[in-house]
Amino acid sequence: MSAEAILRGRISELVNMYCELCQVNRRIGIWDMRRHAECKLPLQDIDKAHLVKTERLGRQSVERRAVVKNRIDALFAEIAKFRLEDSNASPS
């Protein structure tokens, strides 16, 4: 596989990971807002099962966000390294 094809694949994956990061961040916001709305209710009206569900789903999204951000960092480093090697290889 050529270096250009590898770079295209990395850039494509980076774009996909960024899109997933946006989705995960949105889900975190949704679950946080639902939990916040539940917590504003009078104590006797709070649905504890719903509160636990929003916390669990929010936590899953936060954990997914960490994985996605780490992959984005790794892809960015790979792309930057490739670009640096490419610029060093071509005479100016």
| pLDDT digit string, tens, across residues 54-85 | 999 999 999 999 999 999 999 999 999 887 77
Q: Which residues contact 4 (CB under 8 A, 6 or more apart)?
A: none
pTM for the whole structure? 0.81
Give tens-digit pLDDT for 12-33.
999 999 999 999 999 999 999 9
Alpha helix stretches (DSSP H) within 1-92: 3-39, 48-89
